[in-house]
Structure 1
Amino acid sequence: MSGLRIALADDQALVRAGLRALLEQQGVTIAFEAECGESLLRRLEDQPVDVILSDIRMPGVNGVDAVTALRARGDLTPVLLLTTFDEADLLLRARDAGAQGFLLKDAAPEDLREAIERLAAGESLLQPVSTDPVRARYRYHDDSAPVDTFSEREVSILRLLAGGYSNREIARSLFLAEGTVKNYVSVILDKLGTRDRTRAVLKAITLRVI
């Protein structure tokens, strides 16, 4: 990943300092730091970068608004949004605006490094995936399978959760009873070790389950 130029946006100076230290240890050049979306947009006009790493929540122009503004002016620089927030509307709005990826702020350093590499290479952490390789990777082998395995049905439901569908809408899409979907969602949350749907989607994206 040596040679990559990153724009780093976060309203917390300590967070920026920590991310800068981490990334510079891995050979990444921080082209500039921004404390808000307005500053990020302004600096990008004359300082192009390979990847934008931004907090999703900032005062004024937040990460979602910044992505929207960038795409509106024709700037297609890949954007990786960092979040700690359980807000499905922000997650879905950012995806629709044109963000290429999300990562929880407590993700492991190697996950951050890999995410940046993938975005710089033109990939997306949010692109749809075939359920076949997912099934192969998360297949049940026996009754004592680890809790981080997922059936094809669970992967399908996770992908619909990522699309913002309610339990009722998922039930209609998959021809299941709403109560059955509710049970599936509960199992998915348990397997991912999360307490709500938004964190489940974020974690599933990070783990490349969806």
Structure 2
Amino acid sequence: MNPPLRIALADDQALVRAGLRALLERQGIEIVFEADDGEALLAQLATQPVDVVLSDIRMPRLDGIDALQQLRARGDATPVLLLTTFDDSELLLRATQAGAQGFLLKDAAPEDLREAIERVARGDTLLQPVSTEAVRARYQFHATDAPKERFSEREVAILRLLAGGYSNKEIARSLFLAEGTVKNYVSVILEKLDTRDRTRAVLKAITLRVI
């Protein structure tokens, strides 16, 4: 049996932290410590390593994204899952650019939250909590950035799964393909979108209305 995931929980509202703690502990996740702002989170992470950081974005003194930037600047690669009550593409972009592995709305179902924590702990990236229209409005590309070739239906399906943070293995299982075949598809997708990065490829695909 695998040991429980160990997480740090950061939110400036004590009642929210208490609710999240109770919810996650019922699902077998260990809360190593709580913090009420980004400064306290960074201080405790220096001495108490965890598997995943679960942090609110909007906090006083130092918010979740600024704390994440400082965490990465000091060389700490602990996966970070950011929570927010705002369906805001600006936050999604700031979060991904700062190095967040996940971005989730606070009204997500309990089972979705647990799955998100497990997936970022495995190294996956979650990019799907905000409306695609808002992302398009903010994250714009010029006509010269248009895909080099049209996408097939299978490539669009794989792009949508990439947007959900699924690994090549999970995509292969979902679409009944060999993992090597999915890897080849992903390489073609990145080539068509002229990017090496899966995260930017998804944002670009949303902006260009590929997905």
Output the TM-score relative to the length of structure 1: 0.63
8 Å contact kept, 1:8–1:33: yes
Within 1, Cα distance between the matches of 2:54 and 2:124? Answer: 15
Change (3 A) 1:56 1:98: same
Tell me the distance in 2 between the aligned counterparts of 1:111 and 1:42.
29
Change (3 A) 1:64 1:99: same
Are 1:102 and 1:205, in contact at CA under 8 Å, matched by a contact in 2?
A: no
Identity %: 65
Mapped partners of 1:60, 1:46: distance in 2: 21
For 2:93, the equivalent position in structure 1 comes to: 92
Alignment correspondent of 1:165: 139
Give the aligned partner of residue 14 of structure 2.
Answer: 13
Output the CA distance in 2 between the equivalents of 1:118 and 1:172: 35
SS at match of 1:49: coil
| Residue 78 of structure 2 is aligned to residue 111 of structure 1 | no
Q: 1:29 to 1:18 in 2, by over 3 A?
A: same
Could you tell me which residue of structure 2 aligns to residue 180 of structure 1? Answer: none
In structure 2, C-alpha distance between the alignment counterparts of 1:102 and 1:88, rounded to whole Å = 11
Distance in 2 (alpha carbons) for counterparts of 1:29 and 1:74: 24
Identify if the C-alpha distance between structure 1 residues 104 and 205 changes in structure 2 by more than 3 Å, giving closer, same or farther.
farther
Is 1:32–2:33 an aligned residue pair?
Answer: yes
- Displacement of 1:206 in angstroms is 6.2
Aligned residues: 150
* 1:165/1:39 CA distance change after superposition, 3 Å: same
Pair 42,27 (structure 1): closer, same or farther in 2 beyond 3 Å = same
Looking at structure 1, the residues matched to 91 and 35 of structure 2 have their Cα atoms a distance apart, in angstroms, of 20
Q: State the partner residue of 2:83.
A: 82
Q: Is the 8 A contact 1:2 1:26 kept in 2?
A: no
What stretches of structure 1 of length at least 5 have no aligned partner? 128-156, 176-203
CA contact (8 A) 1:102 1:206 kept: no
1:29-77 Cα offsets, whole Å, 9 max, x none, are: 1000000000000000000000000001101110000110000000000
Q: Could you tell me how far 1:91 is from its partner in structure 2? A: 2.0
Query: Matched residue of 2:92: which SS?
Result: helix
Q: Any gaps of 5 or more consecutive residues in structure 2?
A: 148-161, 167-201, 203-211
**1:201 corresponds to:** none
Matched, 1:70 2:71: yes
Distance 1:22 1:87, change over 3 A: same
Alpha-carbon distance, 1:126 to partner: 3.7
Give the TM-score taking structure 2 as reference length. Answer: 0.63
Q: Do structure 1's residue 3 and structure 2's residue 4 form an aligned pair? A: yes
Structure 2 CA distance, aligned partners of 1:207 and 1:98?
14
**CA distance in 1: counterparts of 2:103 and 2:34, whole angstroms:** 19
